[in-house]
Amino acid sequence: MNKTWIRGLTGLALVVSTVACHTEDITTANQNPNSPTDAPASALFTSATAASVRRWVGFGGPAIITQQLANTTYPTADSYIGLQADATTGTFNAAYTNDLQDFRQVISKGKVAGRAAVYGPAMVLQVWDFSYLTDQWGDVPYSDALKADSGVVSPKYDTQSDIYTGFFVTLKAAANAMAVDVLGDPGLGSADPIYGGNITKWRRFANSLHARYAMRLVNVNPATADAELKVAFSDAGGVFQSTADNARLMWPGDGVSDNPFADNLKQRDDGRLARTMTSLMVPVGDPRIRVYGQPVVDSSAYPNGYGGMPAALTQDSANAWYRKASRPGTIFYPGVTSYGTFGTSAGLSTPSFLMTYAELLFIRAEAAERGIGGVPRAEAAADYNSAIQASMAQWGVTDAAAISAFLANPSIAYQGGTAGLKQIATQKWIALFSDDAQAWAEWRRTCQPSNVVPGPNTIVPYIPRRFYYSTTEASVNAANLNVAIARQGPDNFGTRVYWDTQSANAPTCH
């Protein structure tokens, strides 16, 4: 375990703990209370990485919306009552006032020092961080954000189209800069909790993210998607080559820096696998189910041992599934909890995945089947199979016979054409378990899995397409916010973000 970044994070946590409940508006983005302005780039990078991963990767509202999880005791999230503006405002605000600001400082310090091995990774993660904001809210402050020290205290909201253009420019610039970095520069070294300062892997991560965002635009701007996929796949730095390239944060599990989901499960026992997910896994013998979930306590509903609960039930109906639906897998638990022992303390160290080789292969498979990105169409089936195998490896599934049987199942074996694209989308969604915001984004883009439908007790008769804007912004940056709302559409669950406005163009939506 990397002790250096643990010590840095522990020290900064003493500062963070004093302000953890303080949500500020983004107009004070250059007054980050969590990071002393004279902190070294290495400490800022460590803190920002952990904070952003803790915020975005796990099992939050998107896991409920996209129906990978459901709630028993507190089903207000399932009905979307608990996902309205008052619940998501803090998430929106904190990204700007905390980690995005820290990444900005790392980039600035690294450029002043002329060290691409320092500022390159921060550029990549700043794009990754911003992507969760725009994919969940749409138009957000981007080009004007983080510029309060330059006098920009009321940042404009950029269109998502422009934001994505910025992503491509920044990721390419980062990849190019890291390609010519001074030989022997240790970069961030042990302060880098993702790759330990390995610039080769950071270049691959930059290009793999480039491919992710390119494919995200395929329905609304296929020409740009095609062109940017080619940029990503042709870069000399390459994309992910194996699961060893997975961008993941290994949590120390020391009681200070723990896997956020395991930490959450210490005190609550309301999360269960959703039936939407288990119905796609159990009938076809998907061996990942034994990692994603635990056997049910009461097998009356699922005699075979694994199964999920329906989405968006009433309180009384949800309570009935407490013992009849599978808990999340033991690897997500901290061991001893306030309601029983599940798993071991090793769950506190379960990694959080920022992007994986499996996802990259699914992108390649889709590009091949669509005939874009310069990927030969003949490679679609091989990439699809390799993607599933990479997902198995990611989650520690090693039973070769079970994997082979799964791949040979008639509903899993690659079919090609539109049916193949639906298979790719569904298996990608399953593989994105624990990166719930990406699973939600992929469902919105592909309409797959097709069994994600509103439950009986939702406050709107559809699956949300975005979150409500920050209530803080409505108070302190109303003029710019209102321009964004007028341009994008009403501030509600139903308005679609830019890349989601042309779902009719997706063959998987028909």
Mean pLDDT computed over 287-295? 98
With cut-offs at 50, 70 and 90, classify the pLDDT of residue 5. very low
- Within 13 Å and on the Cβ side, how many CA atoms surround 319? 3
Q: In this predicted model, what pLDDT tens digit does every residue of 215-234 receive, in sequence order?
A: 999 999 999 999 999 999 99
Check residue 15 and give its pLDDT: 28
φ/ψ of 6, rounded to 5, equals -65, -45
Dihedral sign for Cα 126, 479, 472, 24, please: positive
Q: In this predicted model, what pLDDT tens digit does every residue of 230-251 receive, in sequence order?
A: 999 999 999 999 999 999 999 9
89: pLDDT strictly greater than 50: yes
Which of 163, 102, 108, 162 has its CA nearest to residue 133?
163
User: CA 296 to CA 166: how far, in whole Å?
Assistant: 46
Rg (CA), the chain: 22
Check residue 354 and give its pLDDT: 98
> 């292969």: which residue's tokens?
361
Q: In this predicted model, what pLDDT tens digit does every residue of 425-461 receive, in sequence order?
A: 999 999 999 999 999 999 999 999 999 999 999 999 9
Exposed, middle or buried: residue 299 (CB in 10 Å: 0-12, 13-18, 19+)? middle
Longest CA–CA separation in the chain, Å = 64
User: CA 489 to CA 487: how far, in whole Å?
Assistant: 6
Structure-model confidence comparison of residues 14 and 29, the more confident one: 29
φ/ψ of 125, rounded to 5, equals -70, -30
Exposed, middle or buried: residue 244 (CB in 10 Å: 0-12, 13-18, 19+)? exposed
User: CA 102 to CA 304: how far, in whole Å?
Assistant: 49
Pairing of strands 352-355, 69-71: unpaired
Mean pLDDT computed over 293-315? 96
Please tell me what DSSP assigns to residue 327. P
Strands, E assignment, 312-457: 335-337, 340-342, 352-355
Question: Are 318 and 75 contacting, i.e. CB atoms less than 8 angstroms apart?
Answer: yes
Check residue 185 and give its pLDDT: 87
Check residue 84 and give its pLDDT: 98
Question: Are 154 and 480 contacting, i.e. CB atoms less than 8 angstroms apart?
Answer: yes
Check residue 37 and give its pLDDT: 53
Check residue 114 and give its pLDDT: 94
Listed in sequence order, the residues at least 6 apart from 239 whose beta carbon sits closer than 8 Å to its beta carbon are 204, 207, 208, 211, 232, 233, 360
User: CA 430 to CA 412: how far, in whole Å?
Assistant: 13
Check residue 1 and give its pLDDT: 38
501: pLDDT strictly greater than 80: yes
Mean pLDDT computed over 263-271? 93
